[in-house]
Amino acid sequence: MPASVLMREREEEPSEAVRKRVEACRKIQEERFKGEGIFFNGHMNAGQIKRYCVMTEKAKEMLEEALKVMNFSARAYDKVRKVGRTIADLAGSEVILPEHIAEAVNYRSLDRESW
């Protein structure tokens, strides 16, 4: 994603709108995992990650590059995919797009810096 896109000013989203998006996201996950014994993306196993974390080719390329540059482990790779799935759910997207991966990688890098 170009720096100009990332750096542009964004309007703040009202709390009520955020709440509605989160509720919609939870409902998506509830439906997705009905009968699977889990309720949230963060609880997915390897098979579920493969099934539900469908990415565009560009998103896959971005994640592969992040793996190389940031030296992510297999565990971190799966976590980024799960977070990317949640970000996609919040955006109402059926597939994980490059911007979802970029955001998830950013969160992961912040997590690594904290430790």
Residue 3 belongs to a domain? no
Mean pLDDT for the chain? Answer: 90
Residue 70 belongs to a domain? yes
What's the pLDDT tens digit per position in 12-59? 888 999 999 999 999 999 999 999 999 999 999 999 999 999 999 999
**Residue 48 structural domain:** 14-114
Residue 2 belongs to a domain? no
Averaged pLDDT for residues 49-71: 95
Please choose, from the candidates 87, 81, 114, the residue with its C-alpha nearest in 3D space to the C-alpha of residue 100. 87
- Residue 38's contacts (CB-CB under 8 Å, 6 or more residues apart) are 44, 48
How many domains does the chain contain in total? 1
pTM assigned to the model: 0.83
Give the per-residue pLDDT at 3: 66
Residue 29 belongs to a domain? yes
Is there a contact between 80 and 105 (Cβ–Cβ < 8 Å)?
Answer: yes
Residue 81 belongs to a domain? yes
